[in-house]
Each structure stands twice: as C-alpha cells, then as structure tokens.
Amino acid sequence: MLSPHQPQQITQMSENTRGRHFVVRPATERLSSSGNVVSNTLDDQPVLMEARLLEIISSVCQLIHSNQQIDEALQEYIDDDLLNALKENVRVIASKKEVARSLQLKLSRHGVNISLEDKIPPYDGSAVLKKIEEIEMKKNTNQCQSNESDDGLYL
C-alpha cells in the first residue's frame, strides 16, 4: 500500500481501444551526486527551512510596515478598501508568525537556534481597528441598555 507522502511514479502499462491503463508505483529514491538520498520534504533540510523562515520574517516585517502606513492614512480618512486591506494584513501577520514559530521549533530540533523576537518587530495591531471595535462595543452596550429599559410590549 502506498502512503500519501511517498513519492509516486506513474508508468503507462498498456493502451487499447478503450483508453490507456496506468499503474502507480512508488518512485525510486533520488540521489545526489555524492550518492546521498535527496529528500522531498522541507522538514529534513534545515538549510531550506532556514531560508523559508527568513522569507517569512521579511514578509511579516513588510506587512507590519504596510499596516503602519495604512493606519496613518486611515486616521485622516476612512476608506473601506484600506480598512479591508488592514484587516486582511492583520490575519496574514498572525498566520505567518505562527508558521515562523513552527519553523523555529523544527530548526531547533536540528540544532539551529534562531530567535524571532529580535527579527520581527513588535506589532500590537492597528489603532484604527481598535477604535472601530471600541465604538462597536459601545454601540452594542447602549443597544442592550436601551432594550432593557423599555417598559411593556409595543405592537
């Protein structure tokens, strides 16, 4: 039985009038010029993991800088497209930080210790988004209080 992570090789078996028939077999291992087995997974190659981590760090830094600029622009004028971009960037930053932490942990298992705290600047979120959330919370609180003070049922 083939595992889903095992490389596979498809070879043509025969062709008849009804169509082609294929057989799926495990692929043979790829060898480097020195005769070592070349892995297809990122987990086995710390150099590639480190390169991926540095790429993610660079991306997160750019997103944080972009969010700071969008935040400044939104303080002057609220634009729905910029607001949506800001919200999306916040989600992407959180996701990429999680991937970076995962890669950091995998690299430490290979003896490569990389600190993220000094490479990714602190980001506490958007001031504009916080103000919007605060206003919405006050609105919801006021609506609840006004509904509780109603006496009777109006038809």
User: pLDDT for 47-72, tens place per residue?
Assistant: 999 999 999 999 999 999 999 999 99
Pairing of strands 19-26, 8-16: antiparallel
CA distance 20 to 16: 6
Q: Is residue 154 part of a domain?
A: no
Per-residue pLDDT, 79? 92
Whether 155 is in a domain gets the answer no
Q: Is residue 107 part of a domain?
A: yes
Q: Could you tell me the two tokens for 151?
A: 């006496």
- Whether 17 maps to a domain, the answer reads no
Q: Round the average pLDDT of the chain to a whole number and report it.
A: 81
**How many C-beta atoms lie closer than 10 Å to residue 116's C-beta?**
15
Residue 106 lies in a domain: yes
31 in any annotated domain: no
Domain hosting residue 52, numbered range: 42-111
Per-residue confidence at 101, pLDDT binned at 50, 70, 90? very high
pLDDT of 18 > 70? The answer is no
Q: Is 60 within the bounds of a domain?
A: yes
> Would 120 be classed as within a structural domain?
no
In this predicted model, which residue has the larger pLDDT, 8 or 82? 82
Total domain count, the chain = 1
DSSP H/E element including 37 = strand 37-38
Q: How confident is the model at residue 147 (pLDDT cuts 50, 70, 90)?
A: low
| 45: pLDDT strictly greater than 90 | no
Contact of 85 with 121, CB cutoff 8 Å: no
CB 62 within 8 A of CB 119: no
pLDDT confidence of 100, banded at 50, 70, 90?
very high
